[in-house]
A and B are shown apart, each in its own frame.
Chain A
Amino acid sequence: MRKLRYRFSSDEALMLAYRDGDSGAFECLYHRHKDALFTFLYRGCGQPNVVEEVAQETWEAVINAASRYTPSAKFRTWLFQIGRRRMADHWRRVPQQESPLQEAAEPVAPATGPGDEDYTAFEQRVLRAVGELPADQRDALLLREQGFSLADISAITGAASETVKSRLRYGRTQLRAQLGDSL
């Protein structure tokens, strides 16, 4: 019954419940967003060990801020904002390589189009292409891939909506230039 109640509660309500001491509410909230955040972080960095570390830091930041949480914005927006910031902090701490996505797996098939067998390789190729984008364009594209609206991306990145729109446009154009007709 309790889990059913959590299921129909909003993110903000769950966070408030956790603030009031209900750890079950946080568990539900975590399961709702853990994979989306992990995917976002992985696409932005491509290194699973780094992603785990950054994801843990992000969720710990959420947990530590719970006691003073007030639902002034969408929880999901807030969560990804923290995640993005933690990732930036990580690359600031660790001497960054030329491109973090260079370590992503090399595509095993020519980039003529995604077949059933080489789809994973194609995904990795796209991922590397995304990693070569400027950080602002990359973040805007990856957040858009997570289903965020322009306003949400604007709130997460701190850029104006028009700026976000142009970043998305430039990012897609650049990807098309790299990947050709395969997109």
Chain B
Amino acid sequence: MSRDTRREQGDALPLPEMNSPPQLDEKILAHARARAPQRRVTSRPGWMSGLAAASVVGIAVMITLPGQDGVHDTLPAPHWEARERTPAALSQPEALQADTLTDDVAQDARVDAQNGTQKDAQKGAQKTEGASLSAAPPKAVAAQSSARQSAGGLREEQARPDAQALERKMQAGASAKKIGRASPQPALNAVAPEAEQSAYRTPESSIERDQEDRDGATHQRMIEKGLETCAALLRSDDRPAAISCYAALRKDCGDCTLPPTLDAALEAQASDSVTSP
């Protein structure tokens, strides 16, 4: 309600209105200007823009020079993807999968060096364990993951000599060609670099060893089968056919150290002395 309205309604008193004198205004405003709090500085110092520009350039250089990482060329994609992403940056299931993968690799290397042919069974068990962990609820997974991480260092320490021995063996063989290309790279996460490198190299050597094992088993089976055929012909009193069968077997398996005659081969098979390369 304005004063005039209230006065019209008889509510306001007829009192004099006063204006502040100009000299008082000047005095007070001058005092206000003199005592005004200092304006807050909003301009940034020059070095801040320079620092920002340098940071951008640095990041750009880091992004545009990815080719120095040799491990990426030799490793399967999931391995280096898991390496590049730090555990903190991963979600729990992803972190667990990466962890499981690394553990599998290290475990494979150790089992390879120690048990040889039991590797497949161990690997299967490992993968089953990894799969069960992947399917576990996030809280249980996180707990297992942290436990595995703490135990991981110990296992890597154990796996390191085995892996190094295996690596030396592989480098001596023909399969070392590819492995030799792998160059050391600084560790990006908590895994020890040496164990990590050997672990990452192990899968290829394992694959080649598998291939070699499979080749040897194939030869063995082929020899056994051929000898059985020849023996069957011999038992059916068809000695010429049995001899020609054995000759064909020797011809097919040029690398095999088969005895010169069928009889000698059958004797050797009986004494389990037939070998494959």
Binding site for B on A (CB under 8 A): 18-23, 26-27, 30, 34-35, 37-39, 42-43, 48, 51-52, 55-56, 59-60, 63-64, 66-67, 114, 119-120, 122-124, 126-127, 130, 141-142, 145, 147, 175, 183
Contacts and interface: CB of A to CB of B under 8 A. Distances in A.
Interface of B: 1-3, 10, 12-21, 24-25, 27-29, 31-33, 35-40
Given A59-B28, A63-B31, A114-B14, A22 B19 contact: no
A63 B32 CA distance: 6
Given A19-B37, A21-B38, A30-B29, A127 B20 contact: no
- Tell me what chain A mostly uses at the interface: helix, strand, loop, or mixed: helix
Given A67-B37, A183-B13, A60 B31 contact: yes
Given A27-B29, A66-B37, A145 B15 contact: yes
Contact of B12 (A21, A26, A145): A145
A123 B36 contact: no
A34 B14 contact: no
A175 B37 contact: no
A56 B15 contact: no
Residue among A56, A120, A142 with the most chain B CB within 10 A? Answer: A56
Contact of B18 (A18, A21, A38): A38
B32 A130 contact: no
A27 B32 contact: yes
Contacts of A35: 17-20
A52 B14 contact: no
Given A114-B14, A123-B15, A183-B13, A23 B32 contact: yes
A46 to B, nearest CB: 9
B35 A127 contact: no
Contacts of A23: 32-33, 36
B36 A18 contact: yes
Contact of B16 (A19, A30, A120): A120
Given A63-B31, A66-B36, 8 more contacts: A35-B20, A38-B18, A63-B35, A66-B37, A119-B14, A120-B16, A123-B14, A126-B15
A178 B122 CA distance: 112
